C-alpha cells in the first residue's frame, strides 16, 4: 500500500509532480543533445533501439520492473515512487518530438548543460516533497540495506546499466560523464533549498 504523509499532502504532491516534470524535461534535453545520455538512459536508449519502443515508454516499463525488485528488498513505495515511475517517461515522450533539431555543437552543449541542471532542480523538488524515492533510488537503498555501501551500490548499478545499454546499442559520451560527475553536487546544492520545510508546532495545531 502506498504511503502519503498527513502533513500538507497537497503541497507535497504539487512539488513532486512539478519536480518530476522538470526532471523529465531535463532528461529529454540531454537525450536530444546527443552528447551522451545519463547512465540509466544509456540502458533506456539501448532498449528503445532494440525494441523500437519510444524511449519514454521504455523508461516507464523499466521503472515498473524495478518496483518488482523492491519486493524481495522490502522497500516501501510512496506515492512519489509511482509518480516517478510514470511521469518522467510521459514527459520525455511529449517533449522529445517537439524539440528543434540542430547539428551545431554549441546549442547541443547548452541543451546538455541545461538538462543536467533541470534534472538536479527536479530532483530537489521531488525528493524534497518527501513522497518516497524513485524506483532506481529505491533499488540502490535496498541493496545498501543488504550490506553494501551507498557508494558501492550506486556505482555497481550504474556501471551495470551502462554496460547493458552499450551492449544493446546505446551510446555514451561527454554528457554521460558530466551527468555522472555533476548530478550529485548539483542535487546537494538544490535539495536543501527545495525541501519542504517541517511544519511548525503552531501550524500543526491549526
Domain chopping of the chain, boundaries: 10-95+102-193
Residue 61 pLDDT exceeds 90: yes
- pLDDT given for residue 28 in this prediction: 98
**pLDDT tens for residues 97-131?**
999 998 999 999 999 999 999 999 999 999 999 99
CA 59 to chain centre: 10
**Residue 58 grid cell:** 521504455
Which of 89-93, 98-102, 140-144, 174-178 has the least mean pLDDT? 140-144
* Alpha-carbon span 137 to 75, nearest angstrom: 10
Please provide the average confidence, as pLDDT, over all residues in the chain. 90
What pLDDT, on the 0 to 100 scale, is given for residue 139?
86
Triad 125, 129, 131: Cα angle to 5°? 130
pLDDT of 1 > 70? The answer is no
- Joined together, the cell numbers standing for residue 15 give 512539488
Give the max Cα distance, the chain.
Answer: 58
Q: In 3-state terms, what secondary structure has residue 3? A: strand
Amino acid at each position: 500500500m502506498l504511503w502519503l504523509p498527513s502533513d500538507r499532502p497537497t503541497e507535497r504532491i504539487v512539488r513532486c509532480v512539478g519536480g518530476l516534470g522538470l526532471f523529465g524535461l531535463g532528461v529529454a534535453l540531454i537525450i536530444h543533445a546527443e552528447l551522451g545520455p545519463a547512465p540509466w538512459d544509456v540502458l533506456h536508449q539501448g532498449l528503445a533501439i532494440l525494441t523500437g519502443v519510444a524511449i519514454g515508454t521504455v523508461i516507464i516499463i523499466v521503472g515498473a520492473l524495478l518496483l518488482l525488485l523492491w519486493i524481495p528488498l522490502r522497500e516501501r513505495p510512496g506515492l512519489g515512487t509511482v509518480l516517478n515511475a510514470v511521469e518522467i517517461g510521459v514527459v520525455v515522450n511529449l517533449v522529445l518530438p517537439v524539440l528543434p533539431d540542430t547539428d551545431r555543437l554549441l546549442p547541443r552543449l547548452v541543451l546538455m548543460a541545461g538538462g543536467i541542471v533541470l534534472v538536479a532542480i527536479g530532483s530537489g523538488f521531488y525528493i524534497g516533497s518527501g513522497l518516497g524515492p524513485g524506483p532506481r533510488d529505491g533499488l540502490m537503498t535496498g541493496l545498501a540495506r543488504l550490506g553494501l555501501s551507498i557508494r558501492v551500490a550506486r556505482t555497481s548499478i550504474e556501471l551495470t546499466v551502462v554496460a547493458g545499454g552499450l551492449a544493446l546499442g546505446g551510446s555514451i559520451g561527454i554528457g554521460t560523464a558530466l551527468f555522472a560527475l555533476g548530478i550529485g553536487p548539483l542535487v546537494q546544492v538544490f535539495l536543501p533549498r527545495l525541501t519542504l520545510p517541517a511544519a511548525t508546532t503552531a501550524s500543526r495545531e491549526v
